[in-house]
Structure 1
Amino acid sequence: MHRSAAGAAAHPALLPLLGRTPVARIHADLPHPHPGFWAKLECLGAGGMKARAAMSMLTGARGRGELRPGAPVVESTSGTMGIGLAFAGQALGHPVILVGDRELEPSMRQLLRAYGARLELVDRPAAQGGWQAARIARLHEVLARTEGAYWPDQYNNPDNPAGYRSMAAELIGQLDHLDVLVCSVGTGGHSAGLVGPLRRRWPRLKVIGVDSVGSAIFGQPARPRLMRGLGSSIHPRNVRHGVFDEVHWVGPAEAVDACRRLARGSFVSGGWSTGAVALVSAWAARAEPGAVVATVFPDGPHRYLGTVYDDDFCHAHGLTATAPATRPLEIPHPRAAEAFGWARCRAVVDPVGARAEGALAPHVLAPGGAA
């Protein structure tokens, strides 16, 4: 253990625990039989998947002199990045202040506090931008009153995707070949960080983005979202729209069903993002026989025992009222229809960089139904 100039304890012995996660072959029916796909189990690395990005952002800022030794780190989180920053803060000797919201699960609040993070919680979403915008507004208040504080800005910081180069190197060493990569998309960090190195190794690699219904990232209208960890009400600059060959939007009922099938049939599982990418990965393995498909399971199931794996929660939110979709509905363009269940689109657009092509069509795609 070492102490920084400001007196905060640093624990560099934690650093070898970062990353180095295994891949597992997944064969659980999702919901149909499929040839199988590979999943990178980030839950088995200290701090989870986003510890990679957190370490990259803090070490980058320290190298540039933007983050002084022992200075506080302040960030907005729906949970997973908070765990990663708690790890990085302990390793490097920085106190961590996290801005969350009232939707943050009690178990996650307890865990973040146990790791030494200080929490600031907002109690209502912003009229524009929802919980994310409300958290960012509070974050700026915290920065203004906290001397020397540093904001990594995970949504726009290029050091976020840079943190996943180590994961790309691990995948290249673990897989003989890769045809299809399936990535959940929130801040855009891990997809942006993985695609470059993986396409240099396998130039014909197909990349499928997986978003949440109600997310604005790929041109759908922003709506309140039950799922956390993927999707966004704002437009992170770290999302590289041009690297994706297609995008799927997945609803909470499909994600819950996939998570539970994973737990029963493969033992490894996780939360909303894990269920969503598993569903799409199984679909891709069926749709392209013989293709080698891989994805990333960002975390494990423990955070979600009161939501994804809780029968009362799922019943209260209508997630068990109807059978989840078993295949995606096709839409020609993100603005052609609003998806409320699993949908697929091969026209990938940057809703900020491209000019609007007219208002959203006045019809929706309901879960399991036609437009």
Structure 2
Amino acid sequence: MTVTALTAASPRATANPDLLTLLGRTPLARISCDLPCPQPGFWAKLEGLGAGGMKARAAVSMLLGARRRGELRSGAPVVESTSGTLGIGLAFAGQALGHPVVLVGDAELEPSMRRLLRAHGVRLELVDRPAAAGGWQAARLARLRALLAELPGAYWPDQYNNPDNVAGYASLATELTHQLDHLDILVCSVGTGGHSAGVVAPLRRRWPALRLIGVDATGSTIFGQPARPRLMRGLGSSIHPRNVAYGAFDEVHWVGPAESADCCRRLARDNFVSGGWSTGAVALVSAWAARVHPGAVVATVFPDGLQRYLGTVYDDDFTAAHGIGPERAATRPVEIRHPHAAEATGWVRCTTVVDPLSSGEVPYPHTGPEST
């Protein structure tokens, strides 16, 4: 496997704790455009307008937790695998707390994201092909473990299994309780499982009847579907993160790239605020929830903005080449009784939510490399 080192992390980083005053406090927007059908509107927390994006909350929480426990020494490097969004959050946290950041990405990381990460001073390494089992995610993690051996005192946050990832979103829940008088349905994209788990528990203390809808990507294995190659990045996974609070979800939707891209473009054109794959996916499901539950207050989180995706989601040549034009986008979900009842190749809904690692059921077979 070839590994490309794009830039070196500085040997020492100077802490800038004033940056922490920029964390969070993002606005809430009312989304009322057709997605793709007319819908009464829902609320979206615009995390892309916060410094470092949504995952800066988790990144700061994980580094502070590690420092409290003595796992991360002053000035020591932080090493993590990323498909992009957490990388920006860690770049923010590293500058704020004084830690050089080393990130392992892969060949599918967008050129714009590579440049952005370098601009923020991280050392970025790319693996050039997926592992035979576990895809890009496994390949990145293999390189990450090698880096931990090469960098004395380096700390790996392990975002997929770190409880401090979950704890970092308590501030997001607090902001929502201040911005909303009531909430009936919360829609969350699921990747590491951090923000859905971190937000729903405090929100249910405020509103005990709150329903939680999870949104996953087609080809993701988180909720028991088979792991397949995935075009969408930022949500879904080819492993089973232990931060996912399976018991908290009332239902799960799998959304494909055609549906997500169509919603992203509709948002940008008709409601101005938009984002990438995760934003399009949660917007689609939030609009559906608002439509099928008249009078319900529905809210979701838009994790980032659209700039990263100008060469993919918002590029006509890209969508045409991948066969994900708006004519391929479903306007309503297919209903299945169980995650193993059928493979989701487009928008699918299921009200049975299981933890694939503890359900005792036979999962789908692995049939090839996956993306993340």
- Same fold judged by TM-score > 0.5? yes
Evaluate the alpha carbon distance shift between residue 71 and residue 356 of structure 1 in structure 2; reply closer, same or farther with a 3 A threshold: same
Task: Determine if contact 1:315/1:321 at 8 Å carries over to the other structure.
Answer: no
Q: 2:307 aligns with which of 302, 305, 316?
A: 302
Q: Which residue of structure 2 aligns with residue 275 of structure 1?
A: 280
- Distance across 2 between alignment mates of 1:97 and 1:162: 23
- Distance across 1 between alignment mates of 2:147 and 2:309: 28
**Secondary structure, counterpart of 1:9 in structure 2:** coil
Q: Which residue of structure 2 aligns with residue 14 of structure 1?
A: 19
Q: 2:101 aligns with which of 96, 100, 106?
A: 96
Higher RCO structure (Cα 8 Å, ≥6 apart): 2
Q: 1:212 aligns with which of 208, 214, 217?
A: 217
Q: Identity, % of aligned pairs?
A: 77
Task: Determine if contact 1:102/1:122 at 8 Å carries over to the other structure.
Answer: yes
Deviation at 1:357, TM superposition (A): 4.7
Structure 2 counterparts to residues 193-342 of structure 1, below 5 A: 193-320=198-325, 322-342=327-347
CA displacement 1:13-34 (0-9 Å, x = unmatched):
1011000001000001000110
Deviation at 1:7, TM superposition (A): 4.8
Residue segments in structure 1 that go unaligned for 5+ positions in a row: 1-5, 361-371
CA displacement 1:291-318 (0-9 Å, x = unmatched):
0000000000000000000000111101
Evaluate the alpha carbon distance shift between residue 214 and residue 7 of structure 1 in structure 2; reply closer, same or farther with a 3 A threshold: closer
Q: Which residue of structure 1 aligns with residue 61 of structure 2?
A: 56
Deviation at 1:322, TM superposition (A): 3.4
CA displacement 1:248-284 (0-9 Å, x = unmatched):
0000000000000000110000000000000000000
- Distance across 2 between alignment mates of 1:159 and 1:143: 20
Deviation at 1:332, TM superposition (A): 0.5
Q: 1:32 aligns with which of 19, 34, 37?
A: 37
Q: Which residue of structure 2 aligns with residue 133 of structure 1?
A: 138
Task: Determine if contact 2:259/2:326 at 8 Å carries over to the other structure.
Answer: no
**Secondary structure, counterpart of 2:327 in structure 1:** coil
Evaluate the alpha carbon distance shift between residue 95 and residue 50 of structure 1 in structure 2; reply closer, same or farther with a 3 A threshold: same
CA displacement 1:206-247 (0-9 Å, x = unmatched):
000000000000000000100000000000000111100000
Deviation at 1:8, TM superposition (A): 2.4
- Distance across 2 between alignment mates of 1:255 and 1:319: 9
* Superposition TM-score, scaled by structure 1 size: 0.94
Q: CA RMSD in A?
A: 1.0
> Is 1:345 matched up with 2:350?
yes
> Is 1:70 matched up with 2:64?
no
CA displacement 1:133-179 (0-9 Å, x = unmatched):
11101100111101110000000000001000000000000000000
Residue segments in structure 2 that go unaligned for 5+ positions in a row: 1-10, 366-372
Which amino acid counterpart does residue 146 of structure 1 have in structure 2?
Answer: L
Which amino acid counterpart does residue 63 of structure 1 have in structure 2?
Answer: R
Deviation at 1:320, TM superposition (A): 1.5
